[in-house]
């Protein structure tokens, strides 16, 4: 089981540890509909921590599907690493118990 999960770590796609958010805001142009009660302008951004600070980066509409798949890939890899951690820990525990039995310890 551990080897199968380790093989799944190889991925041809990028992984992005970020959140995708949509922000609505006023554009600041005089006379724009967003200043007079109309709908605000929306934009898509990724937010992530870099050196302990939250950073925001604009995502163009044509890149949205790719960015979402990169974020999904990171989540998949994160879950996979957690599974590998648990399986490896079980392997260590099993080895330790086997050694105790061989040495005649209860």
Phi, psi torsion values for 67, nearest 5 degrees: -60, -45
The per-residue pLDDT for range 91-100, each reduced to its tens digit, is 999 887 777 7
Establish if 88 belongs to a structural domain. yes
Say if residues 22 and 44 touch (Cβ distance below 8 Å). yes
Q: Is residue 13 part of a domain?
A: no
CB-based burial of residue 46 (10 Å sphere; 0-12 exposed, 13-18 middle, 19+ buried)? buried
Decide if pLDDT at 49 tops 90: yes
Give the pair of three-digit tokens for residue 40: 């605000």
| 0.85 surpassed by pTM | no
Q: What are the backbone angles phi and psi of residue 32, rounded to the nearest 5°?
A: -75, 150
**Average pLDDT in the 54-79 region?**
96
Section 32-48 average pLDDT: 92
Residue 10, pLDDT > 90, answer no
- pLDDT reported for residue 12: 82
Give the pLDDT band (50/70/90) at residue 7: confident
Number of domains in the chain: 1
Q: Which residue range(s) make up the domain with 38?
A: 2-8+18-102
- Residue 56 has a pLDDT of 95
């Amino acid at each position: 089981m551990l080897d199968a999960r380790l093989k799944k770590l190889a991925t041809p796609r990028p992984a992005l540890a970020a959140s995708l958010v949509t922000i609505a805001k006023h554009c600041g142009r005089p006379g724009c509909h967003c200043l007079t009660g109309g709908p605000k302008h929306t934009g898509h951004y990724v937010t992530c921590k870099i050196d302990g600070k939250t950073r925001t980066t604009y995502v163009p509409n044509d890149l949205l599907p790719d960015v979402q798949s990169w974020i999904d890939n990171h989540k998949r890899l994160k879950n996979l690493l957690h599974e590998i951690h648990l399986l490896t820990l079980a392997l260590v525990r099993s080895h330790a118990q086997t050694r105790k039995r061989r040495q005649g310890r209860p």
